[in-house]
Amino acid sequence: MTAATLSQAKDVERPERDRNQVGHFSQSGKTPQMEDTMFETLMKFGGYRVDYLNMERAGSSAAMGLYVLGDLPAHQSYSRMAKRNLFTALLVIREQHEEQNLVAIYLDVNSPDEALRPAYQQMKRDMKAGMFRRLCVPVVYDLVGSTELYSDFWNFYRELEWMDILATEAGMLSPVRFPNLVQFPLAGAV
């Protein structure tokens, strides 16, 4: 690690560590490390993680959040979908030279139809507080997976003064307009 990397690592806040019990150690026998916590999150249905970084950019027009959702099928030991989507989105963000604008990463391992996902709810609170107005999602469907979620996100979207949704599905940061998120109108969203 370089000195710059160590300096950046000190600036990252990790509230998920508060979820670890005092004296709880990972299987390695050491104090829980970032990698242990990430892997534990990916292994547990209902697991979530919120990381804050580059806080000096928070509130600026360039600030961006990343939301990742992955399901955990019964035959998998961890959410491969969440891991793949997270790494793909981070790679695209890096290739587009946006990593310095990334202020928060939200990860849920849950069903796309579940509206009360903890990281999703925290993301909405942070956006309402003005931390960022640009939201990157690997899969746009993760925001509007069901009628209930579509209505919830539509109402949230209308409350904000402005918001950019950027998808990484095409291998680059592509703007998405809310009316184009789904192909059909839903009565509950009006």
Mind listing the pLDDT tens digit for each residue in 88-138?
A: 999 999 999 999 999 999 999 998 888 889 999 999 999 999 999 999 999
Reported pTM? 0.76
The CATH code of the domain that includes 147 is 3.40.50
- Residue 112 identity: P
Is residue 26 situated within a structural domain? no
- Tally of structural domains, the chain: 1
Whether 129 is in a domain gets the answer yes
By residue range, what is the domain housing residue 134?
32-175
Q: Does residue 138 lie within any of the structural domains?
A: yes
Helix H or strand E segment including 51: strand 48-52
**188 Cβ partners below 8 Å, 6+ apart?**
147, 148, 150, 151
- What integer pLDDT is reported at residue 155 of this predicted model? 84
Phi-psi region of 54 (alpha: psi -120 to 50; beta: other; left: phi over 0): left
72, part of any domain: yes
